[in-house]
Amino acid sequence: MAKSRSGVFKKEASELLNRFNASLPFDKKLYHEDIKGSIAHAKMLGKQGILTIKETDAIIDGLKKILFEIESGKFGFAIEDEDIHMAIEKRLGEIAGEEISGRLHTARSRNDQVATDFKLYVQNSLLELAQLTKEFIKTLLGVAKNHTKTLLPGMTHLQHAQPVNFAFHLLAYMYMFKRDIERMQSSYERNNYSPLGSAAFAGTPYPIDRQRSAEKLGFTAPMSNAMDGVSDRDFALEILFNISVLMTHISRLAEELVLWSSIEFGFITLSDEYSTGSSIMPQKKNPDVPELLRGKTGRVYGNLVGLLTVLKGLPLAYNKDMQEDKEGVFDSVETAQISLRIINETIKTMHVNRENMQKACKKGHLSATDLADYLVTHCGIPFREAHFITGKAVAKADELGVDISQMSYLELQKIESKIGKDVEKYISLEASMNARTSKGGTAESATAEQLIEIAEWLKKIKS
């Protein structure tokens, strides 16, 4: 039997209703969490004397058998069963007899059951995503370590601005992904409270032990208010938001990979394993991986906005609208998992064209700021005036067809007589990069500190 339709109904559900109402096609993914939740609930009921030992054992054996059937592909899913909770309960009736299976739902409702199952899935996904993100940071760190001296043009407005080293540039991403992990960890802690035992929404008259079932499922404690217990989907919103930010970071790196692998930049070459071809232009190698990563960010945002919209204005407690909470979360989690895996491999296998990065630094007068700083610190000129004089020097460099970093001091002296021979060592590209020794700066010494900080943090965090 195991039907949500009680004796109050005189007619069968229409086939159209079954199709429209069912969540089984997508929530069957939660079979593991559902069985785990039911076992914890049954054990607690047994311990509290609400079920006999015999009943408890029969229920647990039956649930384990169902787990095996599902995992070995022998379980028959039928749309009329509505959702994974009813499908499993129905099968339990066939295995253990309805007299026994019917007792599992004592002091429980599908409302707290689904919230528990879904939260278990989300919590586990947070741990998996944090682990994948950690692997990716390790890869970035590995690449960065070889490039503390590799100069590339740092940009603002996509215009050459100041020289930085490539490790420093990658570190900016490492810190973003570090925050992503921290966000996932804090969501995990904040939401690690069990809805189970909230029953329909008002609690239950049975003498249940919610702390016990919560702990069995790895939760810190039961949620304090049963109505909140069945209505809360913040945990789902948070994972969708966390993934949205993660994908924003991935998409920014992806965009740089697209730019860097173009002929115009030539900073990196993507490995053939992670490049695609054109069906018409035989010479082409396309960066489909980073492009898709950029694109997939869109669907992940869509899932977040979708669930926010579903939940907006919903009265308490459970409403069927909430069944729409799952597909977007599944999709975002799976998108983030494959995205992290493939960006990891793409970065691991790409070739860094050091020389091209270096060459690009000789365009755009990247060390102009250093000339201005020189005029301030060595010639006693106020910064505004120094800024103006440097502008003249840049114009002169353009006229001569050289970069400011290659201007001789003699040429510069013609513009400002206070300039000395020593200017050359301040306006070289290496000197410019290495002058930025402030904490968090691009100088090799400051970059090394950041590399150490990330490496130590990686060692500290739980894997």
**Which residue, 27 or 416, has its beta carbon nearer to ligand ARG?**
27
119 lies in the site for ligand ARG, by CB under 6 A: no
Q: Which of 6, 157, 224, 438 is catalytic?
A: 157
290 burial type by CB count under 10 A (0-12 exposed, 13-18 middle, 19+ buried): buried
What secondary structure does DSSP assign to 74-111, as a single string?
-----GGG-SHHHHHHHHHHHHH-HHHHTTTTTT--HH
187 lies in the site for ligand ARG, by CB under 6 A: no
Per-residue tokens: 161: 């601005």
Smallest separation (angstroms) from ligand ARG to the CB of 328: 13
Span interacting with ligand ARG, options 53-61, 210-218, 317-325, 333-341, rule CB under 6 A: 317-325
**Which residue, 121 or 168, has its beta carbon nearer to ligand ARG?**
121
Q: How many residues bind ligand ARG (CB under 6 A)?
A: 10
Span interacting with ligand ARG, options 232-240, 267-275, 304-312, 318-326, rule CB under 6 A: 318-326
110 lies in the site for ligand ARG, by CB under 6 A: yes
Answer yes or no: 408 catalytic: no
Per-residue tokens: 304: 């977040």
Q: Taking CB under 6 A as the rule, which mask of x and - marks residues 274-313 in contact with ligand ARG?
A: ----------------------------------------
121 lies in the site for ligand ARG, by CB under 6 A: no
Smallest separation (angstroms) from ligand ARG to the CB of 77: 14
Span interacting with ligand ARG, options 214-222, 320-328, 364-372, 421-429, rule CB under 6 A: 320-328
Answer yes or no: 278 catalytic: yes
**Which residue, 41 or 110, has its beta carbon nearer to ligand ARG?**
110
318 lies in the site for ligand ARG, by CB under 6 A: yes
114 lies in the site for ligand ARG, by CB under 6 A: yes
173 lies in the site for ligand ARG, by CB under 6 A: no
Cα 206 to Cα 47, 49, 407, distances in angstroms? 13, 10, 86
116 lies in the site for ligand ARG, by CB under 6 A: no
235 lies in the site for ligand ARG, by CB under 6 A: no
**Which residue, 109 or 148, has its beta carbon nearer to ligand ARG?**
109
322 lies in the site for ligand ARG, by CB under 6 A: yes
Beta-bridge mates of residue 366 = none
Q: For the chain, what is the HEC assignment?
A: CCCCCCCCCCCCCCHHHHHHHCCHHHHHHHHHHHHHHHHHHHHHHHHCCCCCHHHHHHHHHHHHHHHHHHHCCCCCCCHHHCCHHHHHHHHHHHHHCHHHHCCCCCCCCHHHHHHHHHHHHHHHHHHHHHHHHHHHHHHHHHHHHCCCCCEEEEEECCEEEEEEEHHHHHHHHHHHHHHHHHHHHHHHHHHCEECCCCCCCCCCCCCCCHHHHHHHCCCCEECCCHHHHHHCCHHHHHHHHHHHHHHHHHHHHHHHHHHHCCCCCCCEECCHHHCEECCCCCCCEECHHHHHHHHHHHHHHHHHHHHHHHHCCCCCCCCHHHHHHHHHHHHHHHHHHHHHHHHHHHHHHCEECHHHHHHHCCCCCCCHHHHHHHHHHHHCCCHHHHHHHHHHHHHHHHHHCCCHHHCCHHHHHHHCCCCCCCHHHHHCHHHHHHHCCCCCCCCHHHHHHHHHHHHHHHHHCCC
Residues of this chain, 4-43, that bind ligand ARG according to CB under 6 A: 23, 27
83 lies in the site for ligand ARG, by CB under 6 A: yes
**Which residue, 171 or 317, has its beta carbon nearer to ligand ARG?**
317
Smallest separation (angstroms) from ligand ARG to the CB of 207: 24
> Which one of residues 38, 111, 123, 442 is an interface residue with ligand ARG (CB under 6 A)?
111
Smallest separation (angstroms) from ligand ARG to the CB of 454: 41
Smallest separation (angstroms) from ligand ARG to the CB of 320: 6
Span interacting with ligand ARG, options 106-114, 136-144, 236-244, 284-292, rule CB under 6 A: 106-114
> Which one of residues 323, 332, 367, 405 is an interface residue with ligand ARG (CB under 6 A)?
323
**Which residue, 210 or 233, has its beta carbon nearer to ligand ARG?**
233
Q: Which of 278, 351, 408, 445 is catalytic?
A: 278
**Which residue, 112 or 238, has its beta carbon nearer to ligand ARG?**
112
The number of beta carbons lying within 10 Å of the beta carbon of residue 190 is: 11
Name, in order, each residue with C-beta under 8 angstroms of 187's C-beta and a sequence gap of 6 or more. Answer: 126, 235, 238, 239, 242
Smallest separation (angstroms) from ligand ARG to the CB of 196: 14
**Which residue, 110 or 160, has its beta carbon nearer to ligand ARG?**
110
117 lies in the site for ligand ARG, by CB under 6 A: no
Catalytic site residues?
157, 278
Judged by the rule CB under 6 A, the positions of this chain that interact with ligand ARG are: 23, 27, 83, 110-111, 114, 318, 320, 322-323
